[in-house]
Amino acid sequence: MDLRLYRKPMLRAFIPIFFFLSASLLLAQEKLDAKAHYDKAEYMVAMRDGVKLYTQVYTPKDKTQDYPIILFRTPYSVRYYGPKHFRRVFFNEAYTREGFIFIYQDVRGKFRSEGDFIVMKPHKTVKEGPDDVDESSDTYDTIEWLLENIPNHNGRVGQMGISYPGWQTAMGMIDAHPALKASSPQASPSDMWIGDDFHHNGAFRLMYTFGWLSNNARTRPGQTEQRATRFSYGTPDGYRFFLELGPVSNVDKLYFHNQVPTWNEYMEHGDYDEYWEEQDVLQYLNNIKHPILNVAGWFDAEDFYGPMSIYYTIEEKNPDNKSILVVGPWLHGGWSRMDGDALGNIRFGSKTGEYYREKVEFPFFLYHLKEKGELNLPEALVFETGSNQWRFYDQWPPKNTQEKSLYFHPNGKLSFSPPGQSTEDVYDSYISDPNKPVPFSEEIRTSQGHLWMVEDQRFAASRPDVLVYESDVLEEDITIAGPIIADLFVSTTGTDADWVVKLIDVYPGDVPDNRPNPCGVRMGHFQMLVGADVFRGKYRNSFEKPEPFVPDKVTEIKYDLRDKCHTFKKGHRIMVQVQSTWFPVIDRNPQKFVDIYHAKESDFQKALHKVYRSSAHSSHLKLRVLQFIPSLTKIYSPIIIFTKHGR
């Protein structure tokens, strides 16, 4: 506005009114009364086997045009049961204003729906009779019923979901109904044994599995509108609760009492057998013809492997599919409900969640379901943490990367130069005691939560059973983009062991503290967790056929820490931590080759673990580097250390 106009008396009087009216219009937009614009109906929709699923249908009151359908199916309750209860917003305000037919459905065996709920029910590749049902067929049958019974639709259907509803979305993409024109599986698991909620590389995710199954997979007496009473731990201290629990074989006897049948099934399928293999959704992702919007969060504590593997698989099996990958700096599902400008103590410089909702997800469905607007999304839209900016790539991982190895060196050093020649195997070592495991977080809580995915790792760095390797101060920015591979050479005095590797961004000592800073965390030399994962050592050669370690024999452990896109800024340092317990996110490994799900307390034993860093056995991380830094190529003179290195 030209401020010279403000000198005119009439305009001086008008301008405050103008701003008041503008603010009022914005406020009115934010308070759209959905009930004034939509009608609600409730149905029991019959599936092909006769089981009926409770379904809410919201249709625009304006019948002068046809609308596309957006379907959301969930095991967590659609809520708002009965004609008196009405949703205020459908997904977000933009969808509500634009006008769609919104469908919310309790899935089979949950809340108001009939039938039995089976956790991650496998897809039936051959459907010979009406009883051969799964999430794919239930999605198909629901869409078919909607098209036949709900008026004023345009024949186009979209579906979306986050987490378990994301997996149901992925299942709905398989053998899809012809009317399904757009899907967005968000934070969907794909394989619960390899890398999602319940296991990572064979290691059992005790804390999450216990909490999720106890709250979501108990046997139910019948249809209900009520959520199950949450499990009471009797303490806020999950570390203590799970340590005093003892072996996981005690869970059903002490707490579940055969009311959580899925838990008992898991206890009988410790290895990657047919039970887990048939649940793997990736094997069924063939002939996906409609556009897919894959969404993941870099700091998702529950399902990051899933959405990334679904994207990779669709690209491989369906190269002509219009599949888009979006990854932001989010916790599990945070893109749908949070501003996305911060996570814990880490700031991202912009409202990334708001950007996603307004510029990505809504335009995606608007374009494919209403053929409105333009869709100028790249193949991969990823947020680069550290530098805090969105990146647009025509493929993921991006083309312009070089694979570089980050090696462990004496005295806790980390460098892109390999170790010097040595006639002896040099190593760092620590005693791993399953009765005093390394905590996954400093927080006192009974659920794993989310903020530990970017938590300051100084609490772990000071432990004698955590090895720490750190680079010199970076003289330039270094950006990684793509998968991170841990390649360790190890030995143990036991016959089994877990190996946890963490990649960390160490801030300069003079970094100012966040303002406001309610937690009082000092940001100088903050150790931000960038990426981490665990591998259960007995599966190093085969997930199906575990093998014991030969005590004291040097053994290679190689596994994927999953993708990242992060800039380690000039003045920062890169750190790697190695440990063998991560409790109680991961259950305790007895460090003895046994069936861990039926282990006894006497099976748990201390073990001496060694991580080798010689020229013959050079432990390192493989990174995809967008910009290589020569300043980290200096060679450190080989100093033989046979104990935990000094820091």
Q: What is the pLDDT of residues 567-607, one digit of tens each?
A: 999 999 999 999 999 999 999 999 999 999 999 999 999 99
Q: Does 614 lie in the same domain as 492?
A: yes
Q: Does 99 lie in the same domain as 239?
A: no
Which pLDDT score, from 0 to 100, does residue 30 have?
A: 57
Give mean pLDDT, residues 78-83.
95
Helix (H, G, I), strand (E, B) or coil at 331: coil
Give mean pLDDT, residues 294-313.
98
SS (H, E, C) 168-219: HHHHHHCCCCCCEEEEEEECCCCCCCCCCCCEECCEECHHHHHHHHHHHCCC
In the predicted structure, residue 164 carries a pLDDT above the cut 70: yes
Q: Does 99 lie in the same domain as 142?
A: yes
What is the DSSP code (8-state) at residue 253?
I
Q: Does 596 lie in the same domain as 557?
A: yes
C-alpha closest to that of 295 among 197, 196, 370, 381:
381
* Contact assessment for residue 142 and residue 157, using Cβ atoms and an 8 Å cutoff: no
Query: Distance between CA 52 and CA 428 in Å, rounded?
Result: 60
Identify the CATH number of the domain in which residue 307 sits: 3.40.50.1820
Mean pLDDT of the chain: 91
Give mean pLDDT, residues 235-247.
98
Which pLDDT score, from 0 to 100, does residue 519 have?
A: 67
Q: How confident is the model at residue 627 (pLDDT cuts 50, 70, 90)?
A: low
Total domains in the chain come to 4
**Domain final residue pick, 336, 362, 393:** 393
* Contact assessment for residue 141 and residue 135, using Cβ atoms and an 8 Å cutoff: no
Domain that holds residue 620: 405-632
Which pLDDT score, from 0 to 100, does residue 367 have?
A: 97
In 280-432, where do the E strands start and end? 292-297, 323-328, 342-343, 346-347, 380-384, 389-393, 402-409, 413-415, 427-432
Phi–psi pair at 15, nearest 5 degrees: -60, -45
* Contact assessment for residue 534 and residue 557, using Cβ atoms and an 8 Å cutoff: no
- Output the CA torsion 192→195→198→204 (10° steps): 130
In the predicted structure, residue 520 carries a pLDDT above the cut 90: no
399 within some domain: no
Q: How confident is the model at residue 127 (pLDDT cuts 50, 70, 90)?
A: confident
Identify the CATH number of the domain in which residue 253 sits: 1.10.3020
In the predicted structure, residue 232 carries a pLDDT above the cut 60: yes
**Domain final residue pick, 393, 421, 439:** 393
Q: Does 119 lie in the same domain as 81?
A: yes
Query: Encoding tokens for residue 516?
Result: 């406001």
Q: Does 508 lie in the same domain as 483?
A: yes
C-alpha closest to that of 328 among 376, 371, 391, 282:
391
**What number of other Cβ atoms are within 10 A of residue 277's Cβ?**
14
* Contact assessment for residue 67 and residue 101, using Cβ atoms and an 8 Å cutoff: yes
Residues belonging to the chain: 647
Q: Of the ranges 47-61, 121-135, 233-247, 365-379, which one carries the lowest mean pLDDT score? A: 121-135
Q: Does 357 lie in the same domain as 213?
A: no
In the predicted structure, residue 18 carries a pLDDT above the cut 50: no
Give mean pLDDT, residues 378-390.
97
**Domain final residue pick, 277, 292, 316:** 277
Identify the CATH number of the domain in which residue 496 sits: 2.60.120.260
Which residue type does 604 have? F
Query: Distance between CA 437 and CA 440 in Å, rounded?
Result: 9
642 within some domain: no
Q: Does 508 lie in the same domain as 572?
A: yes
Considering the entire predicted model, what is its pTM? 0.91
User: Per-residue pLDDT tens for 272-290?
Assistant: 999 999 999 999 999 999 9
User: Per-residue pLDDT tens for 173-222?
Assistant: 999 999 999 999 999 999 999 999 999 999 999 999 999 999 999 998 89
Q: How confident is the model at residue 131 (pLDDT cuts 50, 70, 90)?
A: confident
User: Per-residue pLDDT tens for 252-271?
Assistant: 999 999 999 999 999 999 99
Helix (H, G, I), strand (E, B) or coil at 618: strand
Q: Does 206 lie in the same domain as 174?
A: no
Give mean pLDDT, residues 55-80.
97
Q: Does 86 lie in the same domain as 18?
A: no
146 within some domain: yes
Find the helix packing angle between 206-216 and 238-245, rounded to 10°: 90
Long-range contacts of the stretch 178-181 (C-beta < 8 A, 24+) = 179/143, 179/147, 179/155, 180/143, 180/290, 181/68, 181/156, 181/157, 181/290, 181/291, 181/368, 181/369
Q: Does 167 lie in the same domain as 61?
A: yes
In the predicted structure, residue 531 carries a pLDDT above the cut 50: yes
Give mean pLDDT, residues 320-340.
96
Q: Does 376 lie in the same domain as 298?
A: yes
Residue for token pair 């009930």? 35
161 within some domain: yes
